[in-house]
Amino acid sequence: MNHTRWRLARETEMRHGHSEPPAVIAEREQIRLAMALGQLVYDRRTALGLSEDDLAARLGTTAEEVEHIEVGGVLPMTSDLLLRLAAALDVTVDVHLAPTGSEVTFETDAA
C-alpha cells in the first residue's frame, strides 16, 4: 500500500487553507512515534538473533503482543513498556519530546 497519496492529499488541503485540529496533529505524532519504536524493536530483536517468542519470554508477554509492538500498534506508549523493552533488549531508550518533532532511539553499549 502506498501512503504517499494520503500525504499529498493532506498537503493539498493545507495549501487551500484547511488546518487540522490539534488533537489530530497530536494523534498523528503518537502514531509516528509508535511506528518508529516498532521499527527499533524489530531491528534490535533481529540483531540479537531473537525470535518473537524469545522476546515475548523476556518481556513476560506473548509473541502476538511483540508483533503488535513491532508494527507500531502500541498506543499510548507507556513508561512501563519502554522500561521492559530496555531490559529485554539490553538497550537504553531515549525519548525526546518537543513541539517541533519528537523521536525515540535505542542506544547499546559497544562491548
Reported as a single tens digit per residue, the pLDDT across 40-65 is: 999 999 999 999 999 999 999 999 99
Domain ranges within the chain, ordered by starting residue: 23-106
- Report how far residue 79's alpha carbon sits from residue 10's, in angstroms, rounded to the nearest whole number: 32
Q: Is the pLDDT of residue 111 over 60?
A: no
Residue 101: pLDDT band (50, 70, 90) is confident
How does pLDDT run across 86-97, given as a tens digit for each residue?
A: 999 999 999 888
Superfamily of domain 23-106, CATH level 4: lambda repressor-like DNA-binding domains (1.10.260.40)
Residue with cell 502476538: 64
How does DSSP classify residue 61? S
Q: Which helix (H) or strand (E) holds 100?
A: none
* 52 to 4, 34, 60, 105: CA distances (angstroms): 30, 18, 12, 20
